[in-house]
């Protein structure tokens, strides 16, 4: 199977998430990195190309230059990953879609809902993929949870408790020159703080796993570290269209937590619990029975694209890689004029990206209205 000709926008020297995308694509094995704009700094782009074994001639100074040159080649890029700062996601994704090139965009899709809606429309018009890497949907046990719920295991949904606490911003790290802290706490670059960075993941997983829509939110949005100018702790009450209730907590000041992303879903007949720091396990409870600790590899659980035997831990990269597998399948299916395999549709795309933007905006609005219930 010929690998897809792949480009990267962003992801040069020292970039965290760019390196993750690359490892994910490599584990999958269906992508060959052949071109890119690895940095806004042309020199850095050249150096990155060298380090990444990419032909320096295909390391471009700008998206426009890249599109022009690559469209002119018979072996031009087929798909690009956009891993630049959040505010660049919209124009860059739009440019590639306009050029008929499939796009994999890091989350968040944009910095506001109108832009997100435009991208949804554009991807549909151009019939191109606009995948968004809400990576937790790549975990096999998350997909298993979604399937069990879709199959009716827990019956009518009643309560959802979602949370994503971290502790790394418990001090004013952004004042120390730390790069990750810097842009993530800058309202201009990041839009929202804990809410956008991690609350977004939590919300996305809630709707992904339950298959239900949150209809309104009541939120207490706080900057708890003195001197911080963006939210670092968000407590949100949730109401679902179906009448279910819940809450969502995202925090970057919860000392001791690394990425303690947790989802607990309760229905009339059972419950499902998941915790990102032990992503290979799912606690499944059917009413009237003892809890089951279902592990990847136990009977009935799905196989990941990496396909390790159960008990050989798969983690963050493998889940990320699953999305790349899914995106490759969808791009390839189009190139081959066939339907993609159903499982590949689990991977989130522009509609999900737009939905998450709407959530973020509703939470911020509720926060400004002293936690009044606000529709998404």
3-class secondary-structure state, position 237: strand
Measured from the CB of residue 365, what is the shortest distance to its own copies in angstroms?
Answer: 15
- Strand-pairing partners, residue 36, are 8, 59
> Using CB under 8 A, which of the segments 74-82, 113-121, 187-195, 236-244 binds its own copies?
236-244
Residues comprising the chain, all counted? 376
Q: How far is the CB of 246 from its own copies (least distance, A)?
A: 7
Which tokens belong to 214?
């949150």
Omega before residue 103 within 30° of 0, cis = no
Rounded to whole angstroms, the Cα distance separating 15 from 301 reads 34
Compare residues 69 and 223 and give the one whose CB is closer to its own copies: 223
How many CA atoms does the CB half-sphere of 340 hold within 13 Å?
18
Which of 4-12, 97-105, 124-132, 269-277 is the region at the interface with its own copies (rule: CB under 8 A)?
269-277
Question: By C-alpha distance, which of 273, 308, 313, 312 is closest to 293?
Answer: 273
> Which residue's CB is nearer to its own copies, number 3 or number 182?
3
* Residues 314 to 343 in contact with its own copies, rule: CB under 8 A: 314-318
- Which one among 70, 106, 115, 163 touches its own copies, defined by CB under 8 A? 163
Q: Is 85 in the site for its own copies (CB under 8 A)?
A: no
State the DSSP code for 112: S
Which residue of 69, 122, 170, 351 would you call a contact of its own copies, by CB under 8 A? 170
Tokens, residue 156: 């009518």
51 near its own copies, rule: CB under 8 A: yes
The residue among 265, 286, 281 whose CA lies nearest residue 210 is: 265
Number of residues that bind its own copies (CB under 8 A): 91
Please state the φ and ψ torsions of residue 27, each to the nearest 5 degrees.
-60, -40
Q: Which of residues 127-156 bind its own copies (CB under 8 A)?
A: 154
Taking CB under 8 A as the criterion, which residues in 286-305 touch its own copies?
A: 287-295, 297-299
Site map for its own copies, 355-374, x if CB under 8 A? ---------------xx-x-
Stretch that binds its own copies, among 71-79, 85-93, 105-113, 264-272 (CB under 8 A): 264-272
Residues 95-114 that bind its own copies (CB under 8 A): none
Half-sphere exposure of 11 (CA within 13 A, CB side): 26
Tell me the window of 64-72, 108-116, 121-129, 253-261 that interacts with its own copies (CB under 8 A): 253-261
Nearer to its own copies, 30 or 58 (CB): 30
Quick check: 239 and 215 in contact, CB under 8 A? yes
Binders in 19-38 for its own copies, by CB under 8 A: 19-20, 22-23, 26-27, 29, 32
Owner of token pair 């008929």: 100
| Long-range Cβ contact pairs of 16-19 (< 8 A, separation 24 or more) | 16/180, 17/83, 17/106, 18/83
The residue (of 211 and 313) whose beta carbon lies closer to its own copies is 313
CB count in 10 Å sphere of residue 334: 16
User: 153: which 2 tokens?
Assistant: 């295991």
Contact flag: residue 307 with its own copies (CB under 8 A): yes
Helix axes 113-126, 86-98, angle to 10 degrees: 20
Footprint (CB under 8 A) of its own copies, residues 179-218? 218
Candidates 40, 62, 178, 269; binder of its own copies (CB under 8 A) is 269
Round to whole Å and give the CA distance between 95 and 93: 5
- Under the criterion CB under 8 A, does residue 267 sit at the interface with its own copies? yes
Q: How many CB atoms lie within 10 A of CB 52?
A: 17
Q: Which of 47, 247, 346, 358 binds its own copies (CB under 8 A)?
A: 247
- Whole-angstrom Cα distance, residue 16 to residue 140? 24
Judged by CB under 8 A, the residue of 82, 230, 254, 331 near its own copies is: 254
The piece of 77-85, 114-122, 200-208, 234-242 that touches its own copies (CB under 8 A) is: 234-242
Q: Per CB under 8 A, which of residues 212..231 are in contact with its own copies?
A: 218, 220, 222, 224-225
Whole-number minimum distance, CB 34 to its own copies, in Å? 13
Name the CA dihedral angle for 66, 72, 74, 80, rounded to a multiple of 10 degrees. Answer: 20
């Amino acid at each position: 199977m010929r690998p897809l000709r792949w480009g990267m926008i962003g992801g040069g020297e020292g970039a965290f998430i760019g390196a993750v995308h690359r490892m994910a694509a490599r584990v999958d094995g269906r992508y060959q990195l052949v071109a890119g704009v690895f940095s806004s700094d042309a020199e850095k782009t050249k150096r990155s190309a060298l380090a990444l074994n990419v032909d320096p001639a295909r390391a471009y100074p700008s998206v426009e230059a890249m599109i022009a040159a690559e469209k002119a080649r018979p072996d031009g890029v087929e798909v690009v990953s956009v891993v630049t700062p959040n505010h660049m996601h919209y124009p860059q994704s739009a440019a590639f879609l306009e050029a008929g090139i499939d796009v994999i965009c890091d989350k968040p899709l944009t910095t506001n809902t109108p832009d997100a809606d435009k991208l949804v429309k554009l991807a549909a018009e151009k019939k191109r993929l606009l995948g968004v890497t809400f990576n937790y949907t790549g975990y096999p046990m998350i997909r298993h949870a979604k399937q069990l719920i879709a199959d009716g295991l827990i019956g009518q949904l009643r309560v959802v408790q979602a949370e994503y606490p971290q502790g790394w911003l418990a001090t004013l790290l952004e004042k120390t020159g730390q790069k990750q802290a810097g842009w993530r706490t800058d309202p201009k670059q990041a839009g929202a703080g804990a809410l956008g960075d991690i609350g977004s993941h939590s919300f996305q997983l809630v709707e992904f796993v339950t298959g239900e829509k949150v209809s309104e939110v009541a939120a207490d949005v706080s900057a708890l570290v003195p001197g911080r100018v963006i939210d670092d702790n968000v407590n949100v009450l949730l109401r679902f269209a179906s009448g279910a209730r819940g809450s969502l907590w995202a925090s970057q000041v919860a000392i001791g937590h690394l990425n303690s992303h947790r989802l607990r879903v309760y229905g009339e007949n059972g419950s499902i619990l998941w915790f990102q720091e032990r992503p290979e396990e799912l606690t499944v409870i059917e009413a009237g029975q003892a809890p089951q600790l279902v592990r990847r590899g136990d009977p009935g659980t799905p196989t990941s694209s990496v396909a390790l035997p159960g008990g050989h831990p798969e983690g963050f990269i493998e889940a990320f890689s699953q999305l790349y597998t899914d995106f490759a399948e969808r791009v390839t299916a189009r190139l081959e004029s066939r339907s993609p395999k159903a499982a590949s549709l689990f991977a989130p795309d522009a509609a999900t990206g737009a939905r998450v933007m709407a959530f973020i905006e509703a939470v911020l609005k509720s926060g400004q209205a002293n936690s009044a219930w606000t529709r998404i």
